[in-house]
Chain A
Amino acid sequence: MKRLAWRRLLAGATLVVLVLPLLAACTTVAVPTEMAAVPAGPVQGGTWTEASSADGTILNPILASDAASFDMMPYFPGLLGTNPKTGAVEATEMAESWTVSEDSLVWTFNLRPGVTWSDGEAVDAHDFKFTYNAIASELVETPRKANVAGIESIEVIDDLTVRVTFTDLKCDGLLDLGLGWLPSHLYAEDFSDIMDSPLNTAPTVTAEAFGFKEWQRDNFIAMESNDGFWKGAPNMDGQIIRVIPEASSRLASLEKGEIDVMGLEPTQLTRVGLNPDLNIFKFKDDGYSYIGLNQANPANPLPGQDEDGNLVEQDPHPILSDKMVRKAMAHSLDYEAIINKVYLGQGYKLASNVLPAVGWAHDASIEPYAYDLEAAAALLNEAGWTDSDGDGVRECNGCATAEAGVTLSLNLKTNAGNSTREELGVLVQDQLNSIGFDIEFEAIEFGTLVGELLGQTYEMVIIGWTGLGTDPNDDSFWHSKFDTPGSGFNFVSYQNPRVDELLELGLETPGCAAEDRAPYYYEIQQIIHDEIPYLFVTGSIGNVGYSNRWEGIDPGTWSFSWNIHEWALTE
């Protein structure tokens, strides 16, 4: 479920609010008709309350790595905005405009004048430079170092102009510049106080719609509205995020009016739908669920490339390295039934790796695999996997990848506690076993699963991606250079030199125009669809339940609360 972190991507015009004089109080004075017709301004006051399943860890945008923390720190301005409906990059945040060099390596951003921190200091190019230099500093321990890996230099031309030079052309490089800026005037110039600064738990200034008020760990965080917000003072007094780990308790709180919004699970949709005080916002999320098929031998994980960048031949998985077996699996799953029974209709069939949400790069002409048990059985027979002893499990009788007599037995894992994935696992086990597989399914603790996944010591895994963002580049899943046991995300050991080449071309397209990049991603999707390193189970549909006591809420796929400063109580 995509969280409400999109709030950071505030965009849109400021609503100018005119508050009528308190004429109504003067009951003896006749109100002229013309004046009575003037609409009243938005109601002022009230507190917007959200529920989060987990507490944040730290309120510093360059140290945090979890969604809950980013939700809890809408204080730090960002360089670029995102259109809440389309996901397109827009000049709606600190960057008012920008120019790009011909080789697309040098980006010069003109910053918005007049934006200040709540203590009166200007938000300017020095804050941007300080933030990114801090990430690069050896004094700062942060997983965000990837954000500066492709940056050659950052120059402050003047207070409101900053120039970023990238080392290599990377069409999704702008996403690296998306972190919130730190108020540089509150930190030591040498970054020595960043790791243990008290500001990490209690930021004293803000340049966004809300400012920090109080944080009680594992309980709540309270934020007050920032009247000096450059897009306009919020109508509400502030917002609170309550930490409520249990989904049923969150729903009870929403129904009782103790919170105003929460991400809904499919089982909660009916109750919220029947409640006249609540609305539901449904959207195609930027994520999907899949079954990863490890094509290499889990007993002998090898990197995809050697130190010189040459492909390393993998020790193949005795069953899953056979494309015909993978294709048979793809035909054995009843996606319609899975989406309806497991996801309660909150999903959609998916043919390949680029989501419809990234419209310009998504190839809608590729059809998802059809549920066709006859075709699946024929493929397995053709591949040399037959049930010669009549025990219901096929064995290798002339197969290409395993020794004769090896049974079609595989282990399928997922993370325990995720009831949807656990249900999916049982259904998949049932459906694959029905055509002669012998699937052992187990749900294990998430940390353990992550260890096995990245260590590439598993065979099949049910997992999903979320927050894939607005760019179609997903080289970390498919490029052989990211097949690095222990840490790479190409943990299915997928190797295809053409896909490696296409991914590089898609990222390094001169000018980075969508129409020039799209053909590369179309071809990638077709190859991924044909070679089946993943069984694409369903695209994610997100549902947000929210109270109708607020007006002005205009949620988009990429941001629910982009215009939160305009929201007001209905009465």
Chain B
Amino acid sequence: MLDLLKSAVREAPGYAEIRYHRRLQTAIDARNGALKRVERRTLAGAGVRCLVDGSWGFVSTTDVTREGLRNAIAEASDAARAGARLRREKARLAPARLGKGEFIYQTCDDEPDIATKIGVVLGAERRMRASSPLVVGSIVIYTEYADEKYIVTSDGAEAHIVDRKPSFHVFATVGRGEERETGGKGWGVTGGWHDLMRKRDLEKMVDEAVDLAVRKLDAGYAKGGQYTVILDPQLVGVLSHEAIGHTVEADFVQSGSVVKDKIGEKVASDLVTLVDDGTMRGAAGMVLVDDEGVLGERTVIIDKGVLRSYLHSRESAAAFDTVPRGNARAFTYRDEPIIRMTNTFILPGDSNLEDMIAGIEDGFFLKEMGQGGQADATAEFMFGIAEAYRIKNGKIGELVKGITISGQAFEVLKSVDAVSGDFELDLGAGHCGKWQPAKVDAGGPYVRCRVTIGGRHE
């Protein structure tokens, strides 16, 4: 395959990259006493990108024969030439450390067969229904991407990548009369089935999801307003990724995000160091070589409160006169690489969680993301919270529901006055969406800060 791609890329008039990507996706979805669906999908093909006269052309095809690739290169370079007449800002590529050779992310020996996996999913779903008479809805979903890629560029990348990213979602709905409440857990890794099972205990997650949903039936609502809160590692990940991370993606910066021209400025508390790092072993956003063939590296975005770096593709790195560190990613062969995060997190500090809670007079202890969560170029964000407890006089109190947090993410980071020594990446279950999905991870320690709580007016 590598030889085929190498000979095809030589026929391109300028810079070209060919990415053959074969994905075998497995989804097992059990709900409400039935196996709702088991799907096994093969999606394979080549994404061809050409740069002619400073303009891109991208063509994707299932035909990966010599002839098919030749046609794709011709079509992509014709499209690029046509685009060059329109495009004002000419694209250039920054020099980069390019991947060459074998990149086997995890060895996944003794991967169980599909019958075993179906059995485990069904067993977890049964356990969920059996765990409380209030359970009216039960969902257990296993998803797995097994990817193989060959990436060749006309300037020297030649990478063969083997990667596997599985995840679990468990979701319980409980009911009493007309009332409905939900509780969910999700986790994901880069690795095999056994790595995923080691990350979290499936049965424990099922029990916790049901328990949370049941407790929410009796929980009250909170009054909205400004509060001091503790964010758990997952929510720190959500804040780092959704609210901060997207604003430092260089394409968002170029279109005027809130951190434009702010490199070197103080944007957060001294306690905050925030990084993006594709090389974190086993994290769901692990990317050793990105889809432009660039090697993954750690990017320090915020260093002790000072904004240091944006996240780049080769094109944006050239525009900013810097180097790319493996943040150009494509979800399938049909997608072109765009600037994405990998694993995004705040580094641990030296506070103790108990002391951090004890220091709050009137606030909330917030755990895990609920449904929804958005942010935009202004870093204004809103996230639903799955599990929220009142903190009064330094003590954790009752569970409250229907909580969202919002604010301006950099203001929130400036308000950080304590960072715990804990560390966990805990956002590997789902996908990040930006025109195309991407598997990412995020997290950090526990963080104490000020946010706006959206609750209900009584």
Partners in one complex: no
Residues of A within 8 A of B (CB): none
